Amino acid sequence: MNNLGKICDEFAINIIDGTTEEVRFSENTIDLDSEWSNPSYSVFAARGRKVVETSFDSIESWEDKIIELSKMLENAPENPDFHGINPVKFDYHNIQDYRNEDIHAMAGEMIRGALDGGADRAAGLAYLHNLRNRVITPWNDQEYSESSLELVVRAFKGGNSGQEALHYGMDSMGSADPYGAGMSAARTAALTHKKASIDEGKYDVVFSPYTMGAVISYNMEFLSYYSINAGLSPFLDRSGRMVASKYVTIFDDPLDKKGAGFTPVDQEGTATSRVNLIENGILKGYLHSYSTGRQSGNKSTGNAGIMHPMPWQIHMAGGGGNQDDMIAGMKRGIFINNSWYTRFQDESNGIFSTVPRDGVFLIENGEVSGTLQGLRISDSILNILMNVKELSREEKYVKWWDEIHSSIMPYALVENVNISKGF
């Protein structure tokens, strides 16, 4: 790979290799059990302030890609926002830790739990990732291996559904409870079959960790300095100011090995660490690479993406509450177990909508009085965060498809959430 240094001043190579095993089930039956290896290579190269990036899936393409990168650098315009790749040499413990888990048996346990919990049928999947990661720059050559597990189950009872979507890292796989996940999803689906309806308007809402995970996953991108610099963030010019209620503390925690988002080194070789983002409602700072740190007079937070810093594993700290007590204290409100399809109408103000599903219930006088359909949460992230009034002690490691990134979330009571009708 030395020939890369001949065409550029700086570079960062990221290599991911290893295996992924998938078991999928539907209609209470396992219908897919497969394993694959999908190596991926990404190369960032800079010549002065000209920057280019490419990715490919075979080392056999290396020489062709070097030629392609050289041509791209010749034609690339200068990027005034690029200020280099981190030149510091980092030392850290080289983690080599693979796990073997019987995810075929886990899929069977999710089905059994769903049926024992009262569901008519269940669908879902289990993933086991055993991956090797390597980051190479002119100053660092760092490698680590990791294992992670994902369990997803949707349970169906009549026309209702419930879902659990959990992730586990190297320090928590032994505590995975696929049977309990199936049963919990089924209990949500079977909670009530009485239909209810509401008008559009403002409601107090209990967000499950999945709903909170979906909302936070999408909106924490706005704490990347890339979004701040582009002027496309509701957190612009708010560092040191209240952006949430005093109950809200959020941090990026890539070194938590209980989660699938464990990442000891970022994409330019910087060692990662816990990064406080919001503390007791106050915005503490933004996510930085070395380049964005130099641009803004800050240090790297270990979140490269060289041009676009990114969170690794967001953790919203729990409080002292209990989700059952939150519901019991509601005169008239809503419980939302999950949400899909989060989309933005105005990124600079954080205005978004998302579709509640897999357990959406009207709460009256502290009790579930019916199921709700056709709703949307139509609000802004600042309103949601400012109106958090209580958080549960319980936290879940949640992850689902592209909707919920690897994160750790509590239940949250949020007041005055704007609810609209989707259909």
Neighbour count for residue 36 (Cβ, 10 Å): 8
The average confidence (pLDDT) of the chain is 95
Residue-level pLDDT at 1: 65
Q: d(Cα 294, Cα 51) in Å, to the nearest integer? A: 16
Question: What's the pLDDT score for residue 100?
Answer: 85
SS3 sequence, 118-142?
CCCEEEEEEEEEEEEEEEECCCCEE
Q: Which two tokens stand for residue 311?
A: 């969170």
Tokens of 64: 């062709």
Residue 422 pLDDT level (bands cut at 50, 70, 90): confident
Per-residue b or e along 290-310, where b marks 16 or more CB atoms closer than 10 Å to that residue's CB: bbbbbbeeeebbbbbbbbbbb
pLDDT digits (tens, 9 = 90+) for 48-77: 999 999 999 988 889 999 999 999 999 999
Residue 362: what residue type? L
User: How far is C-alpha 352 from the geometric centre of its chain's CA atoms?
Assistant: 17
- Report pLDDT for 93: 63
The pLDDT of residue 404: 94
CA 221-272-16 angle, 5° bins: 80
Q: Model confidence over 216-256: pLDDT tens digits? A: 999 999 999 999 999 999 999 999 999 999 999 999 999 99
CB neighbour list of residue 340: distance below 8 Å, 6 or more residues apart: 214, 354, 355, 357, 403
pLDDT in tens, 356-401: 999 999 999 999 999 999 999 999 999 999 999 999 999 999 999 8
pLDDT confidence bin for 423, thresholds 50/70/90:
low
CB 155, CB 124: distance < 8 Å: no
The alpha-helical segments, DSSP class H, found in 153-236 are 178-189, 209-219, 225-230
Q: What's the pLDDT band for 96 if we cut at 50, 70, 90?
A: low
Q: Is 185 helix (H, G, I), strand (E, B) or coil?
A: helix
**Using an 8 Å Cβ cutoff, are 374 and 145 in contact?**
no
Distances (CA, A) of 12 to 65, 137, 191, 305: 14, 5, 51, 10
CA 137, CA 309: separation in Å to the nearest integer?
17
Residues 234, 76: Cα–Cα separation, whole Å? 31
Residue 137's identity, in one-letter code, is T
* Tokens linked to 307: 């041009």
How far is residue 215's CA from residue 208's CA, in Å, rounded to a whole number?
11
Exposure string of 169-199, with b = 16+ CB inside 10 Å and e = fewer, is bbebbeebbbbebbbbbbbbbbbeeeebeee
Q: How many CB atoms lie within 10 A of CB 61?
A: 13
Cβ-contact 376, 353 below 8 angstroms: yes
Residue 38 banded pLDDT, cuts 50, 70, 90: confident
The CA radius of gyration of the chain, in Å to the nearest whole number, is 23
Question: Which domains are present in the chain?
Answer: 2-188 (3.30.2290.10), 193-423 (no CATH)
Helix H or strand E segment including 15? strand 10-26
Alpha-carbon distance of 381 to 222, in angstroms, equals 10
Residue 305 contacts residue 252 (beta carbons within 8 Å): no
Measured over the CA atoms of residue 253, residue 259, residue 263 and residue 267, the dihedral's sign is negative
Return d(Cα 112, Cα 281) in angstroms, integer.
Answer: 42
At residue 297, the pLDDT reads: 97
Q: How far is CA 357 from CA 32, 115, 340, 376, in A?
A: 26, 20, 7, 10
Please state, as a whole number, how many other Cβ atoms lie within 10 Å of the Cβ of residue 14: 21
Give the helix ranges, DSSP H, for 304-369.
323-328
Going by pLDDT thresholds of 50, 70 and 90, the confidence category of residue 197 is very high
Whole-angstrom Cα distance, residue 130 to residue 135? 17
**CA dist., res. 345 & res. 328, Å (int):** 34
Mean pLDDT, rounded, for 172-196: 96
